[in-house]
Amino acid sequence: MSLKHSYTLFAPIYDALIASPSAQLRARSLAALAELPSAEVLIPGIGTGLDLPHLPPQHRYTGLDLTPAMLERALPRATDLDIRFIQGDSQRLPFADTGFDHVMLHLILAVVPDPRACLAEAVRVVRPGGSILILDKFLKPGEAAPMRRLLNPITRRLATRLDVVFEDLIAHHADIELISDQPALLSGWFRLIQLRKAD
């Protein structure tokens, strides 16, 4: 089953499963945007728009998702924001280089089949000096996690990967700097990370 198909099926129940556990984490991650002047912000994998209530109003947003059913559920949450919605693939963003001041990657790196491509695309489209805000679940380098690895071949086809190591994703990116990395949930499995693209 493709992710587009599975998330079309999940769309009606996605909020019931994800909204409450993730709300506080989303607010913590997005607090970094509240103090910044007006900017262009990209949200790949916007899903049903659970980030939208936590976004400060001064920015211009672009929300992208692979699944029309998810985008349809995001629309009603966008009433007080300057935002456009686009259907597209977070692993192959339909935008020019350095077109955004900030990129948010909330619960998308561990969902897409190729998280390296997803991060590389975020780095490509963010301007020098811009930031990438990440909220997701990652294994620690060298972590055995036998149950997660055992389940991963199934879960990665239905909804999410359980085997992504963040340090592996950034290993070949000399153009980004790690600003902060905070454990967020489940003994640090979920992390809040902020990156900065070098000038």
Tens of pLDDT, residue by residue over 66-104, are 999 999 999 999 989 999 999 999 999 999 999 999 999
Convert the pLDDT of each residue in 6-54 to its tens digit.
Answer: 666 656 777 776 778 889 989 999 998 999 999 999 999 999 999 999 9
Question: Predicted confidence band at 153 (pLDDT cuts at 50, 70, 90)?
Answer: low
- Amino acid 1: pLDDT: 53
Sign of the Cα torsion 116, 14, 46, 105 reads: negative
How far is the CA of 123 from the CAs of 39, 71, 96, 103, in angstroms? 16, 23, 12, 8
How far is the CA of 187 from the CAs of 132, 137, 152, in angstroms? 23, 11, 19
| Domains along the sequence of the chain with CATH | 3-197 (3.40.50.150)
Strand partners, 134: 105, 193
- Amino acid 3: pLDDT: 62
d(CA 80, CA 15): 20
